[in-house]
Amino acid sequence: MRQSDVAASAHVAQSLVSVIEAGRLAAIRFEDLRRVFAAVGAGFDGHVVWRGAALDRLLDARHAAIVASSITLLGRWDWQVHPEVSYSIFGERGSLDLLGAREAERAVVVEEIKSEFGSLEGTIRKLDEKTRLVRERIGLERLGWTPSIVGRVLVLPDTDTARRAVRRHASVLDAALPDRGRAVRGWLRAPHGPMSGILFVPVRRYRLTRWSSRRERGDTGPAAWIDRQTWTRARIASAGAISAPG
């Protein structure tokens, strides 16, 4: 595309497209950047860096806490849990946050765990990919049998923010993942037929900075133990070191 074509599609001046192409972005508004990238079929996301690795650790902790809650929930209903199942099949690469299996029913559940809502379209597309690959290949390779019942669940923290995000994107989510709390839990207790839904899970409170300082002081009090337990269980899960809930 010529600069003039991009400018016309994005409803901006051609000179602005030229400045962006040259990488001189200091004075460009995010809104204009997004318009220009959208005009060429791309997207733009800004990343906040806060105190070096601290933000990454905080996001990891949130995700880890949800993983720990999901492992506990699946274990309560007799699912064998396989965390962080990686795959690379004909150019499709990634990992399943949690793969639950019940061999007696030949049932599997694919869980996509999100602590923060990012790209809705990307999340649904990736969950579709993972579910298809579990049905066609991953199930047999990982479990030794081909699943006949497959469910997929988007797992979110049970917070007002997450619930508002689901309501905001209801038109898309209701079509792609129509089942909700009671229906999803009922299916997990007794899987039958396909299921696509969203499940909100409670997550224990954690205070990353306070826990870190306590750990450094060797504190073994109840609050420190709870945070360390949540972090450790999810870290073990993310490393793929367990196959069933403890």
In the chain, where the domains are located: 3-39, 54-238
- Of 41-45, 61-65, 99-103, 216-220, the one with minimum mean pLDDT is 216-220
pLDDT at position 92 over 60: yes
Nearest residue to 195 via CA among 212, 180, 207: 180
Average pLDDT value for residue range 240-246: 39
Q: What is the pLDDT of residue 43?
A: 79
Evaluate the CA torsion angle 132, 64, 193, 105 in order and state its sign: positive
Angle at 14 between CA 10 and CA 18, to 5 degrees: 105
pLDDT at position 213 over 60: no
| pLDDT over 90, % of the chain | 51
Q: What is the pLDDT of residue 235?
A: 53
pLDDT digits (tens, 9 = 90+) for 167-191: 999 999 999 999 998 999 999 999 9
Q: What is the pLDDT of residue 227?
A: 45
Residue with tokens 């791309």: 42
pLDDT digits (tens, 9 = 90+) for 14-36: 999 999 998 888 888 888 998 89
- pTM check: above 0.85: no
What confidence tier does 233 reach under pLDDT thresholds 50, 70, 90? low
Q: What is the dihedral of CA 14, 20, 22, 26, to 10 degrees?
A: 130
Instruction: Point out which residues pair with 101 in neighbouring strands.
Output: 80, 108
Spatial separation of the C-alpha atoms in residues 231 and 93, rounded to whole Å: 26
User: Please, what's the largest Cα pairwise distance for the chain?
Assistant: 64
pLDDT at position 45 over 70: yes
pLDDT at position 164 over 50: yes
pLDDT at position 214 over 90: no
C-alpha 136, offset from chain centre? 22
Crossing angle for the helix pair 222-238 and 54-76, to the nearest 10 degrees: 80
pLDDT at position 149 over 50: yes
Residue with tokens 């949690």: 98
Helices (runs of H) and strands (runs of E) counted in the chain: 11, 5
Crossing angle for the helix pair 14-21 and 3-10, to the nearest 10 degrees: 120
Spatial separation of the C-alpha atoms in residues 135 and 158, rounded to whole Å: 29
pLDDT digits (tens, 9 = 90+) for 106-135: 999 999 998 877 778 888 999 999 999 999
